[in-house]
């Protein structure tokens, strides 16, 4: 018995020794050419997304295949974000308008179904059946690819099953029947039905979006995509110096760090070709007929074949594979033949020849504009969809009109805000504002704001209709008249700043001028305010207080972030009051129920993302650090871009 045990141990040691010398596979990422199945006659592509109402339902799926629908909504809205083109980042196509494209990709979301099902678990004894209830969202999207004339080139339906909830037990006991598992899962769904149904609306799920990007890249884009190069190394072996081979594999880690760009092929050649030469030289040191050494020869040849494949030299990779076949060693090597043959077949199908043409390592990547994505059947009344399908001259005119309206509203609203603070200024003991009766800084800020409003008289009114010009002229003249009187009555100098009685007189004059300009606030509405509202009504598709406050947000941003405007150091409490107003205005515009997002198509919000990000970052800023970290953020074009979506 002892002898048998000894022999068995020796056998295990021999097996372990033999296995230990097998080549150890490692994978290293690189980018290989993807040869798509679709070729366009030219390089312009467009994307169209259908947002027609869809059915969103919930159903029980029984083990016998029966499907029982118990809840249905026919008003579902599922879409794809215009940012799809950014994720795709096509190399071989330039994204353009739908009416200018050579290739059109039409995406239609499919009806979604919440599927409630039960699965028999493998846990437990053979006598006890245990079930798990599952809630999954089944979603899909239909892809149609056509040419410019609408001829179908390719179609495909992608699907995704996303597990949202699972139930394994009830009252601390296993679920022992399919019926009970279905009942419990359905009860959970019904308790949260509103949340689940709402979640099924909006953009397609993340997993389905990922599948969509991957599939479209494979089908339509001539580009490099990430692949794995499999290489082999060996453990130390007495009598053999394998350190050079090990070091050569370690050096190849840098292959995955080579960035895509015009020199990608040259850079990977600089890494791989010297390794191929080195591995060839190493092969000569080993006897391919020796049972131990043949493994090293096999691993080195596999490395050479894989490296040629990574370089795109698949013919050479197959030549090396023929050498591998002659070895008396049966490692797992079929992929060394399959991968090059598959790539050669795809290349030939794409080019129509065995000889590939020179390929562009960059193409159109990084140039795609999400605003070109075309939407159809979207909810009526939403603004900003398909904006680039409008002529450039119309877009330019809208921006000019938005710029003009923004200037008028911005100056008027900021003076209104300073006037509001002026009331607090005159309320003695108001700790929130903290103005002192002798504080000259408020007057200095008001003087500058009033003077800057003079630019209104230089605005180009030619982009307005005749009736709009009349109203805009009245508003402009009103503001100009105010400044003329104000400038004459209220002046500030070094002596008055240091003289309490003199400052008191200046403040009194300021309030008198404001009262004369704005009239009695107990009246129905001041003429100036009426004209502001009337002009906005004529120029805007949607006119309300929130939308009209957008220019004020930009003006406050300018005042707070500009180095030559309101200073935190000069008067922290005035700065805080203006920042507080900025934050309230931001919330009203972009967060609260009054948000302008309710009027905009999601593609318009995507288009405005850059502009909105600037406003958000200042909104979240620490007021004491604005001057240091958020300097000079003002840009007139920002307001014009946003407001132009609302301008007639």
Q: Is 185 exposed, middle or buried (0-12, 13-18, 19+ CB in 10 A)?
A: buried
Strands (E), 199-290: 202-203, 223-233
- Residue 350 and residue 36 in contact, taking contact as beta carbons nearer than 8 Å: yes
DSSP string, 587-639: HHHHTSTT-GGGGB-HHHHHHTHHHHHHHHHHHTS-GGGHHHHS-----HHHH
**Does the structure show a pLDDT above 90 at 511?**
no
> pLDDT of 144-188, one tens digit each?
999 999 999 999 999 999 999 999 999 888 899 999 999 999 999
State what percent of residues in the chain have pLDDT above 70.
Answer: 86
Element (H, E) at 403: helix 392-425
Q: What is the pLDDT of residue 424?
A: 62
**Does the structure show a pLDDT above 90 at 58?**
yes
- Residue 513 and residue 489 in contact, taking contact as beta carbons nearer than 8 Å: yes
Residue ranges covered by each domain of the chain = 20-32+226-331, 36-220, 387-646
- Residue 529 and residue 568 in contact, taking contact as beta carbons nearer than 8 Å: no
Cα–Cα distance, 578 to 417 (Å, whole number): 8
b/e per residue 187-205 (b: at least 16 CB within 10 A):
ebbeeeeeebbeebeeebb
Cα–Cα distance, 74 to 153 (Å, whole number): 31
Q: What is the pLDDT of residue 15?
A: 39
Neighbours of 241 (CB within 10 A): 11
CA-angle at 25, arms to 19 and 28, nearest 5°? 170
> Helix 572-590 crosses helix 392-425 at what angle (to 10 degrees)?
140
Predicted TM-score (pTM) of this structure: 0.83
DSSP string, 452-505: HGGGGGG--GGGS-HHHHHHHHHHHHHHHHHHHHHHHH----HHHHT-HHHHHH
**Does the structure show a pLDDT above 60 at 17?**
no
Cα–Cα distance, 636 to 648 (Å, whole number): 19
Q: What is the pLDDT of residue 116?
A: 95
């Amino acid at each position: 018995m002892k002898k048998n045990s000894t022999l068995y141990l020796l056998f295990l040691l021999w097996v372990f020794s033999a296995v230990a010398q097998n080549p150890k596979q490692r994978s290293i990422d690189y980018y290989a050419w993807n040869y798509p199945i679709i070729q366009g006659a030219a390089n312009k592509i467009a994307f169209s997304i259908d947002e027609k109402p869809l059915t969103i339902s919930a159903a029980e799926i029984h083990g016998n295949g029966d499907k029982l629908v118990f809840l249905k909504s026919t008003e579902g809205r599922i879409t794809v974000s215009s940012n799809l083109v950014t994720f795709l980042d096509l190399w071989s196509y330039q994204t353009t308008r739908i009416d200018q494209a050579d290739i059109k990709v039409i995406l239609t979301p499919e009806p979604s179904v919440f599927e409630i099902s039960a699965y028999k678990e493998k846990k437990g004894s053979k006598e006890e059946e245990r079930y798990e209830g599952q809630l999954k969202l089944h979603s899909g999207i239909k892809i149609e690819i056509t040419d410019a004339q609408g001829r179908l080139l390719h179609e495909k339906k992608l699907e995704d099953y996303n597990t949202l909830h699972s139930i394994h037990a009830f009252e601390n006991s296993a679920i022992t029947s399919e019926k009970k598992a279905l009942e419990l899962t359905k009860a959970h769904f019904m308790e949260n039905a509103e949340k689940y149904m709402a979640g099924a609306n909006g953009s397609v799920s993340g997993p389905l979006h990922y599948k969509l990007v991957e599939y479209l890249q494979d089908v339509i884009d001539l580009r490099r995509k990430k692949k794995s190069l499999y290489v082999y190394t060996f453990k130390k072996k007495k009598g053999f110096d394998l350190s050079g081979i090990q070091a050569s594999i370690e050096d190849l880690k840098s292959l995955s760090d080579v960035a895509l760009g015009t020199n990608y092929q040259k850079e990977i050649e600089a890494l791989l070709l010297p390794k191929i030469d080195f591995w060839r030289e190493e092969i000569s040191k080993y006897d391919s007929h020796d049972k131990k050494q043949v493994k090293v020869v096999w691993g080195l040849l596999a490395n050479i074949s894989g490296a040629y494949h990574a370089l795109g030299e698949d013919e050479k990779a197959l030549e090396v594979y023929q050498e591998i076949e002659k070895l008396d060693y049966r490692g797992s090597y079929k992929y060394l033949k399959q991968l090059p043959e598959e790539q050669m077949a795809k290349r030939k199908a794409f080019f129509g020849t065995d000889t590939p043409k020179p390929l562009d390592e960059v193409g159109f990547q990084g140039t795609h504009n999400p605003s070109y994505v075309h939407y159809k059947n979207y909810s009526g009344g939403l603004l900003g969809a398909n904006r680039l399908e409008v002529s450039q001259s119309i877009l330019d005119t809208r921006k000019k009109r938005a710029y003009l309206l923004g200037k008028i509203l911005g100056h008027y609203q900021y003076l209104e805000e300073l006037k509001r603070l002026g009331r607090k200024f005159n309320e003695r003991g108001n700790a929130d504002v903290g103005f002192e009766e002798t504080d000259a800084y408020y007057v200095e800020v008001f003087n500058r704001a009033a003077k800057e409003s003079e630019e209104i008289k230089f605005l180009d009114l030619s982009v307005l209709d005749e009736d709009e010009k009349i109203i805009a002229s009245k508003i402009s003249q009103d503001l100009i008249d105010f400044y003329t009187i104000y400038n004459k009555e209220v002046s500030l100098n070094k002596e008055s700043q240091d003289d309490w009685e003199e400052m008191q007189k200046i403040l009194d004059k300021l309030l008198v001028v404001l009262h004369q300009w704005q009239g009695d606030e107990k009246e129905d509405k001041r003429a100036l305010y009426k004209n502001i509202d009337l002009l906005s009504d004529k120029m805007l598709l949607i006119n309300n207080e929130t939308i009209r406050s957008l220019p004020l947000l930009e003006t406050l941003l300018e005042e707070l972030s500009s180095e030559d405007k309101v200073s935190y150091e000069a008067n922290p409490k005035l700065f805080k009051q203006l920042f507080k107003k900025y934050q309230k205005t931001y919330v009203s515009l972009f967060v609260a129920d009054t948000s302008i997002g309710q009027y905009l198509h999601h593609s318009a919000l995507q288009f405005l993302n850059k502009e909105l990000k600037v406003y958000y970052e200042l909104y979240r800023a620490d007021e004491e650090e604005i001057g240091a970290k958020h300097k000079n953020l003002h840009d007139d074009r920002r307001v014009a871009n946003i407001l132009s979506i609302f301008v007639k």
